[in-house]
Structure 1
Amino acid sequence: MERPLVNARSSAPVSRTAADVLRIVSDPGTPVFVTVHEGGRRRYGYWRPSGPGGQGACYAALPTDVCDELRAARRIVLGEPLVDPAKTTYRVRAATGWAATRQPTVVVRAA
C-alpha cells in the first residue's frame, strides 16, 4: 500500500505515484502531453531522454487514472489543443495560480 504524501500547494495527500507524475509534469525540460483519441481514450506520456551513453531514449506513458485524478483535482492543466483528424493533443503542465481555474473543455467527436 502506498503511503500518501502531502502536496505543498494544497496540503491534500497524494499517492507516491501521483507525486512522481507531478514531479515529471513540473520539470520544464520534460514536455508532457495527453492525446485524446476518437471515442474518448486518453493517453498521457512524455519522451524520456537517453542516458549518458546516448542510447535508450523512449516514449514513456504515464498512468491515465492518476493523471485524470490530478486533472480533476486541478493539480495539472491542459494547454491549447492541437487537432488532427483522429485525435487531439494537449500539452500538460503543473497547475499554478490562475492556470488551475482555466481548464479547456475536452470535446470528443463521435466516430
Structure 2
Amino acid sequence: MSPVLFQPRPRSEAPFEAAGDVLRVISDPRTPVFVTVHASGRRRYGYWQPYDSATNRGGCYVALPTPVCDRLHSEGRIMLGDPLVDPAKTTYRVWPTRTPATPIRIPVTPMHAAAQTLAA
C-alpha cells in the first residue's frame, strides 16, 4: 500500500472565510463572473483573468469555490442573470445583490405623553 501524501477535503468543507474575497471579485464591474450549470447538475463559477504583462500572469479562466458561491447564492448575497441555454449546459451571469440600508427606527413619543411629562 502506497503512503497517502495528502488527505483530500470534501468540497462541502470549503472555508467560508473566502466569501469576502469571492464577493470582492463578483462586485468588480471589470470582472464578469459566470456560473455554468452542466446537464449533470454540476456547477462551476468562474471568470476570465486577462493577461498582465507586468506580472506575466493571467490569460486564463479562474474558478471560484463552488460551495462558497452556492452559500452566497442561498443567502441572497449574489443573484443570477438571464440564462444562456446550450444543449449540454446553461450559463448565467453572476451579480452581487444590493442590500438596502436597514432603516433606523427612532421611538416616537406621542405629543400628549410628552406634554404630560413636561407638566409633571
TM-score (norm 1): 0.70
Structure 1 gap segments, 5+ residues each = 1-14, 99-111
**1:39 and 1:73, CA in 2 relative to 1: closer, same or farther beyond 3 A?**
same
Deviation (angstroms), 1:61: 0.2
Please identify which structure carries the higher helix content. 2
Supply the AA of the counterpart residue of 1:16: E
Identity of aligned residues (%): 62
**What is the RMSD computed on CA atoms of the aligned residues?**
1.9
Structure 2 gap segments, 5+ residues each = 1-15, 101-120
Aligned counterparts of 1:94 and 1:52: Cα–Cα separation in 2? 29
Moved over 6 A (4+): none
Aligned counterparts of 1:91 and 1:56: Cα–Cα separation in 2? 21
Name the structure 2 match of 1:33: 34
Higher alpha-carbon Rg: 2
Supply the AA of the counterpart residue of 1:56: G
Q: How many residues align?
A: 85
**1:97 and 1:18, CA in 2 relative to 1: closer, same or farther beyond 3 A?**
closer
Match of 1:68 among 67, 70, 92: 70
1:49-86 CA-partner distances (Å, limit 9, x unpaired): 11134653110000000000000000000000000010
Aligned counterparts of 2:91 and 2:65: Cα–Cα separation in 1? 17
TM-score (norm 2): 0.65
